Amino acid sequence: MAKSKSSGAKPRLGRGLSSLISNSSSEAQNASGVSNSEVLQDASVSNLDGQPQEIPVGDISPNPYQPRKEFRSQQLQELAESIRQQGILQPLLVVKVSDPSAPTPYALIAGERRLRAAELAGLETVPCIVRKASQQQMLEWAIIENIQRTDLNPIEKALAYRQYLDRFHLTHETAAKELGQPRTTISNHLRLLDLPDTIQALIRDRHLSFGHAKVIAGLSGQPDLQNELARQTVTNALSVRQLEAMAYGIAAEAASPEKPQTQSPRPNETPPAYVQDLEERLTAVVGTQVQIYPNRNKNSGVIAISYYSLDDFDRIAALLGLPREA
């Protein structure tokens, strides 16, 4: 007989909402370690067999923890037209609210775009999966649903991560495990919230990509320079690589002229955040420490790869394409 899953096991959020829809109610109720009084749904009225049920559109309130702030009218109209033609192919995820003073009997966990489009399409009811969820789960699931299925802009994602960390007092590492996201992804998004408001607006309006934003965020504490780089990027349609080259040059020029071109700014200085990010990614690929030393000349520098034994050296050499000697 197959071994049954413990009722206290936490759903792995990184797999997406499809895994959440099929999980048992007992898993969902206590997954975050909260007390029963914090669970928002009344179990006695739940359809917990995973089968959708039709719920009136007016009986569902938006998720109060929804990280998406921007709903583009044209995209909603297109989705509404698709719903008129094909119906809603994926059920919404909702909880039954036990508070009698609540404005509606149900609260949305995931699917706000579908709910809004259904209203535009004139639907009276929508198919829903009813689940149990704590406040933490509602926030977690809303973040995952948006990150995996719709195009949140990077600032919205950053604000969602910040809300999640602050509300539940989590570290970046813990949040990454809970959400099934790389730690660097969360850290890099959160750095965007330190950018000047003018640059955040450019990111929201998609004039700057996440890649551009990471590079500019690496020049922290220099708002005038960050704004100038953002302006040049938008005006000249710079690629991320072109912007990185400019940032490398600026970082190198800021170094002491007495230092050799290949000398590291460490240990007395911390490299820019975008350099740390590249080093972490290269280290994960190579399996040993990798450090990047930008030259004062643009578009050049040194990548230093550490090895700790002759076997390590041979492995890294093979990884770089050097055939092993017979």
The larger pLDDT score, comparing residue 122 to residue 17, is at 122
Distance of CA 230 to the CA centre of its chain: 22
> Is the whole model's pTM more than 0.75, yes or no?
no
In tens, the pLDDT along 274-305 reads 788 888 888 878 877 888 887 766 667 888 88
Check pLDDT > 70 for residue 45.
no
Residues with a known catalytic role: 112
Q: Phi then psi for 231, rounded to 5 degrees?
A: -60, -45
pLDDT grade for 125, boundaries at 50, 70 and 90 = very high
Cα separation, 154 vs 165, in Å, equals: 16
Q: Say what the pLDDT of residue 195 is.
A: 95
Which of 91, 78, 87, 104 lies closest to 51 in space, CA to CA? 91
Give me the architecture of the 13-152 domain, per CATH.
Alpha-Beta Complex (3.90)
Domain ranges across the chain: 13-152, 195-319
Average pLDDT over residues 131-157: 73
- Tokens 């604000």 found at: 159
H or E, element range at 163? helix 154-168
pLDDT grade for 55, boundaries at 50, 70 and 90 = very high
CB of 145 within 8 A of CB of 20? no
The larger pLDDT score, comparing residue 230 to residue 272, is at 230
Q: Say what the pLDDT of residue 8 is.
A: 44
pLDDT grade for 257, boundaries at 50, 70 and 90 = very low
